[in-house]
Structure 1
């Protein structure tokens, strides 16, 4: 589920790593965070909060920093204790698997491709929402066409340079015009805390599908559930048609 890497990244996938059957995310954060919410409301703490959230969240695998508000409306979560930074000089995105032309893109390569812009509501499975959020980047379908997807392909697996987070889409879902490899969000380059310099954006699904810190796109012959799906979240996370947590009764 900040893509909670994931919020679960910005709302995206980013909550604590849980053992066994996952505790309902809303219940977990609500129970542990009542005190934090009260403190965050104090004006003395609110001042400068936007400036410190990123640094705090990078070292907080519990996801509690996601309870603190910030000016952009996002909440920050991470499934790892820390995430390495990637600059324009050392960032790479690979497209491989069941393709005829495996490709590695630099950040400059991605910026040089035709860019698309869309403005959509960001919806986290935990309930928070950031309306009318602009994203800009390259349609995922363009990268797939350039790679030459083979006839046996059925799905995509996404990996991230945090070393832990993964996500998946069917090939049909990935080719939708509202799915992109995003380079900008809210009219600025995507910062590290929001999954930059490059993240996935799957507009019609809950934000945990929009993997942060994107580093790999592998075309596969079947859907391989991602990080949160392995812990009980729905594989198909359509906003309004999915509860995000499979049949988890604690959600």
Structure 2
């Protein structure tokens, strides 16, 4: 799939069938989700199986769920919607809202003006692949939460993506961990669009699906709401164990 032309990403559900004649539809996607959930147990074997299954049909994927395009730094390009509009440093805004005393909207310069944290930590995908020793720079989520002043009844944080579909969540205690950040840089440069930029989440002790890409909103709530992948079978805490 290296060098795949991404002009077909984002087609509607009536996209052409795969070469074997069977539509790329809900049954295949649910099967892949099941394989992804097994990734916590079988690692490389699941990754290899996914590659074998996805290879013949990726160019006819109508949903974006099968977008496993390798990037040059060994990350993979994932999107649950297919195409995602690009935001620039000039027009990007991050909204902090919900059960807080001080809701706020941050631009890129606003975020860069806050205390920056730098760490080197692995990125682990639930499907088995990982990228060791990634350099991350950004604002600890706990800093934004402190500025927002969560209400007493706030127990969870919900994240939204400007792809218009993806959601994720953490408990308030998880959100305050030192390795949970609003990332502005990774791999020694600004977060690119393909990596979920210009601003994305990074939750270091959790699988990658907890690190929301194309971050648009942080909302404080009373209860933790299962995110996009949790409603499809993934663990709600996403903690990497062992």
**Counterpart position of 1:226:** 227
Aligned partners of 1:20, 1:130: CA distance in 2, in Å?
25
Q: Work out which of the two has the higher radius of gyration on C-alpha atoms and give 1 or 2.
A: 2
**Counterpart position of 1:24:** 35
**Counterpart position of 1:9:** none
Residue correspondences, number: 205
Aligned partners of 1:69, 1:163: CA distance in 2, in Å?
23
The question of whether the paired residues in 2 share the 8 Å contact of 1:125 and 1:207 is answered with yes
SS in structure 2 of the partner of residue 164 of structure 1: coil
**Counterpart position of 2:170:** 169
The question of whether the paired residues in 2 share the 8 Å contact of 1:21 and 1:232 is answered with no
TM-score by length of 1: 0.75
Shift of 1:77: 1.1
Aligned partners of 2:30, 2:169: CA distance in 1, in Å?
21
**Counterpart position of 1:151:** 152
Aligned partners of 1:142, 1:222: CA distance in 2, in Å?
21
**Counterpart position of 1:120:** 121
Shift of 1:70: 3.6
**Counterpart position of 1:87:** 88
- After TM superposition, the structure 1 stretch with the greater mean CA deviation from structure 2, 18-27 or 93-102, is 18-27
Shift of 1:23: 3.3
Shift of 1:29: 2.2
The equivalences for 1:59-208 within 5 A come to: 61-64=64-67, 66=68, 68-208=69-209
**Counterpart position of 1:41:** none
Q: Which runs of 5+ in 1 are unaligned?
A: 1-15, 38-55, 242-251
Q: Which runs of 5+ in 2 are unaligned?
A: 1-24, 37-45
TM-score by length of 2: 0.78
Q: Deviations over 1:43-73 (max 9, x none)?
A: xxxxxxxxxxxxx9xx971424x1x544301
User: Larger RCO: Structure 1 or Structure 2 (Cα < 8 Å, ≥ 6 residues apart)?
Assistant: 1
SS in structure 2 of the partner of residue 230 of structure 1: helix
Aligned partners of 2:188, 2:74: CA distance in 1, in Å?
15
Aligned partners of 1:19, 1:69: CA distance in 2, in Å?
22
Shift of 1:36: 8.6
Q: Deviations over 1:171-226 (max 9, x none)?
A: 00000111000000011000000000000000000011000000000000000010
The question of whether the paired residues in 1 share the 8 Å contact of 2:71 and 2:77 is answered with no
Aligned partners of 1:204, 1:226: CA distance in 2, in Å?
17
Shift of 1:22: 4.0
Q: Which runs of 4+ in 1 moved over 6 A?
A: none
SS in structure 1 of the partner of residue 82 of structure 2: coil
SS in structure 1 of the partner of residue 110 of structure 2: helix
